[in-house]
Structure 1
Amino acid sequence: MADQSSGWLSKLGNLLVPASETKDNPIAPVTNTRILNELIASFEDSLVRESVGKSMLFNAHFLIILHPETYEARQNAFPVIVNEAVNAFKAHVESKKAQFENIAPVASSWFFKFGGGREFGGEPIEPADVKVVGALTGILPGNESVQVPDRIHVTRRVKQTNRFEKVDVDLNTFRHIDFREPGAFVVKFTFEQPPAARSAVAPPAARNSPALPRNQGDGLAQIDHYIAELNREDSYRMRDREIVIARKEPDNQHFPNYLLLESAYVSNPHARIRFNDELQRFQIASFSRNETRVNEQLIPRSEPASPQWYPLPDQAQILLNSMVTLTFQRT
């Protein structure tokens, strides 16, 4: 009788708690480590899936979709998660270098975008869910200013099989996801490439021409910039003691000390950088209603007529509106 009672209680327990949620197969809570592990798993899968011959290829764009409550609880940790993910990606690439002669990603930076939603692809998003969508490049939901195809090729873990699969996703599936700009991060690659690959992205010789006023030889600083929505990078040599960062528009073309960026995410003007002779250091002022960050630190907005200057380190990453990355290097 004792065995029968135990069996009856076991059956009742299975009715109340589905087998998939018992201690043999528990639902993992959404911790920072779990989000990180999902990103790493997605990256490692893409490296195996996308690499071909002697060329190493991997996903560079990642969307991390969470339930809104989970998003709110975890958002302060997103920069740390991204930093840890990038470190893990780099370590994995280094460990695979012996197998490949060339590192050939389609993009030139890793792009991460976090969003909160209750539905994705017709499936509900529960508080315990973490959905990572990866692609070689080009996932930019919420960017209406750029023409994108109706469908994109992505890699994501399929819930039924628990495996990563390559699928076509209709961009309308992202319409229920709140991709907030503070949840976006761009980290430029720093891999050593063969000479041929390096020459392909080297700054044009024309930029070394001493045509601008107050010329300082090779310049006071070099600013490499990457525009995420166009997947485009270039370099700018800062030869003036003060420059303006602005959107590329016809009215700005005749200013010799303007760094013009072809992006809808850049304000007009967005910021100014100057070299302070008295302090012998660089400073930055932001005028944009959107975010300007220096090494992840938010720079408060001021008016163009009354700039508030903040220290700019000799080596710094400047992020404009979470979409345009400037790598600043004093020369």
Structure 2
Amino acid sequence: MADQPTGWLSKLSNFLVPASRPQIPVDTKATNTQILNELVASFEESIPRESVGSSMLFNAHFLIILHPDVYEERENAFPVIVNEAVNTFHTIIKSQKEQFKHIAPVASSWYFKFGGGREFGGETVNPEDVKVVGALTGILPGNNPVQSQESVKVTRRVKQTNRYEKMDVDPHTFQHIDFREPGAFVVKFAFEPVAPPAKPAPAASANSRNAPDVPRSINTHAGLAQIDYYIAELNKEAVYQMRDREIVVARKEIDNQHFPNYLLVESAYVSNPHARIRYNDTLQAFQIASFSRNETRVNEQLIPRSEPANPQWHTLPDKAQILLNSMVTLHFQSRL
């Protein structure tokens, strides 16, 4: 029988052909439902702790830390988990209307950031673990903590007591967590949306009943549309009035400053240009074209990339959420 390699020869063999990583049993990994339940628990627990009087306060920013292997396996489900979490948040808020007359969050959007790590806060992150860190607002988004900030006020479930406790966390605690940009989601608050009253249609004259369709008139002073946008990495909001029939969405740079129809976004995650939005008189509808190699989504639907010289136009609903590279959220609202 041939001799088995020993000593340095065995080590060299292991180096050239690494031993396969042991597989983690499926039943010991965190599930999508477990991630959702932990998010909901963090949100629901924060209401009685943070609310005051008749005003409801709650956690709006969440960091979700998973074992790296689980992160890779669950990454495609993150958008669905976030959507389910927000739907549940709304249900919880509605169920407590009698107790709280006012909804008064500190933030302006729900912010979710997923990351993979093997240790957090002195505790090992196992494949079955889901560690949710929640805060009213302002959790650091990733690997570049603000050096002047000594601590971040958060809540998290303490393993020893299995209870959520409020604590200060050193921002450097997050440095070794791999917060990837596709794992970031921002959902604008939408509490009890009120539909605008329907405008009565003008009475048609005998001559106008058979008249051909013409482009609707546009009040360019008021703007064709309003775009409220949120920049996640800066936790910054702004409003843009779309007064031109076609605008370009681009990164804020000196070379773009002199273009009057540019929506300039102060974010490294926005391409230059990223997209164009126009009003099509023939179709009497808004349209969008994406030029970025990074994702552009409209109401969660991916918009295929095209070349700026040959834009491929897609219908843009009169009310839509446009997500740029998972980091900048535009809320588009037609005024027509």
Q: Following TM superposition, by how much is the alpha carbon of 1:89 offset from its aligned partner in structure 2, in angstroms?
A: 0.8
Distance in 2 between residues matched to 1:230 and 1:105, nearest whole Å: 18
Matches within 5 A, 1:265-276: 265-276=269-280
Deviations 1:38-81 (A, max 9, x none): 11110011111111222211110011111122112222221111
Distance in 2 between residues matched to 1:189 and 1:246, nearest whole Å: 25
Distance in 1 between residues matched to 2:98 and 2:108, nearest whole Å: 21
Note if contact 1:153-1:167 (Cα within 8 Å) is conserved in structure 2: yes
Range with bigger deviation, 260-269 or 71-80: 260-269
- Tell me which amino acid in the other structure corresponds to 1:58: F
Per the alignment, residue 56 of structure 1 pairs with 56
Q: Please, which of 201, 206, 229 is the counterpart of residue 233 of structure 2?
A: 229
Structure-2 change in CA distance of 1:296 and 1:146 (3 Å): farther
Distance in 1 between residues matched to 2:142 and 2:130, nearest whole Å: 20
Per the alignment, residue 304 of structure 1 pairs with 308
- Count residues with an aligned counterpart: 285
Distance in 2 between residues matched to 1:33 and 1:266, nearest whole Å: 32
Deviations 1:162-205 (A, max 9, x none): 00011111122222222121111111111259xxxxxxxxxxxx
Distance in 2 between residues matched to 1:71 and 1:137, nearest whole Å: 24
Matches within 5 A, 1:254-265: 254-265=258-269
2:178 is paired with a residue whose SS is coil
Matches within 5 A, 1:53-132: 53-132=53-132
Note if contact 2:250-2:275 (Cα within 8 Å) is conserved in structure 1: yes
Distance in 1 between residues matched to 2:159 and 2:308, nearest whole Å: 51
Query: Unaligned stretches of 5+ in structure 1?
Result: 1-26, 194-213
Note if contact 2:29-2:70 (Cα within 8 Å) is conserved in structure 1: no
Note if contact 1:138-1:229 (Cα within 8 Å) is conserved in structure 2: no
Per the alignment, residue 196 of structure 1 pairs with none
Q: Please, which of 278, 285, 290 is the counterpart of residue 289 of structure 2?
A: 285
Deviations 1:288-329 (A, max 9, x none): 333222112222333333333333222211011212111112
Q: Following TM superposition, by how much is the alpha carbon of 1:279 offset from its aligned partner in structure 2, in angstroms?
A: 3.2
Structure-2 change in CA distance of 1:97 and 1:282 (3 Å): same
Q: Following TM superposition, by how much is the alpha carbon of 1:28 offset from its aligned partner in structure 2, in angstroms?
A: 7.2
Structure-2 change in CA distance of 1:268 and 1:276 (3 Å): same
Query: Unaligned stretches of 5+ in structure 2?
Result: 1-26, 194-217
Deviations 1:85-123 (A, max 9, x none): 111111111222222232211111001111112121232
Q: Please, which of 321, 324, 329 is the counterpart of residue 328 of structure 2?
A: 324
Q: Following TM superposition, by how much is the alpha carbon of 1:218 offset from its aligned partner in structure 2, in angstroms?
A: 2.9
Note if contact 1:246-1:268 (Cα within 8 Å) is conserved in structure 2: yes
Q: Following TM superposition, by how much is the alpha carbon of 1:130 offset from its aligned partner in structure 2, in angstroms?
A: 0.6
- Tell me which amino acid in the other structure corresponds to 2:311: P
Structure-2 change in CA distance of 1:273 and 1:138 (3 Å): same
Note if contact 2:143-2:175 (Cα within 8 Å) is conserved in structure 1: no
Deviations 1:235-262 (A, max 9, x none): 3222211001123344433322111223
Deviations 1:194-233 (A, max 9, x none): xxxxxxxxxxxxxxxxxxxx96353322212122233332
Structure-2 change in CA distance of 1:314 and 1:146 (3 Å): farther
Distance in 1 between residues matched to 2:268 and 2:80, nearest whole Å: 27
- Tell me which amino acid in the other structure corresponds to 2:282: E
Q: Following TM superposition, by how much is the alpha carbon of 1:159 offset from its aligned partner in structure 2, in angstroms?
A: 0.7
Distance in 2 between residues matched to 1:281 and 1:192, nearest whole Å: 26
- Tell me which amino acid in the other structure corresponds to 2:161: T
Q: Following TM superposition, by how much is the alpha carbon of 1:148 offset from its aligned partner in structure 2, in angstroms?
A: 6.5
Note if contact 1:133-1:154 (Cα within 8 Å) is conserved in structure 2: yes
Structure-2 change in CA distance of 1:300 and 1:146 (3 Å): farther
Per the alignment, residue 12 of structure 1 pairs with none
Structure-2 change in CA distance of 1:34 and 1:233 (3 Å): same
Per the alignment, residue 47 of structure 2 pairs with 47
Structure-2 change in CA distance of 1:319 and 1:153 (3 Å): same
Per the alignment, residue 298 of structure 2 pairs with 294
Note if contact 2:113-2:141 (Cα within 8 Å) is conserved in structure 1: no
Distance in 1 between residues matched to 2:152 and 2:318, nearest whole Å: 39
Q: Following TM superposition, by how much is the alpha carbon of 1:133 offset from its aligned partner in structure 2, in angstroms?
A: 0.6
Distance in 2 between residues matched to 1:89 and 1:57, nearest whole Å: 12
Structure-2 change in CA distance of 1:282 and 1:148 (3 Å): farther
Matches within 5 A, 1:164-179: 164-179=164-179
2:139 is paired with a residue whose SS is coil
Structure-2 change in CA distance of 1:146 and 1:253 (3 Å): farther
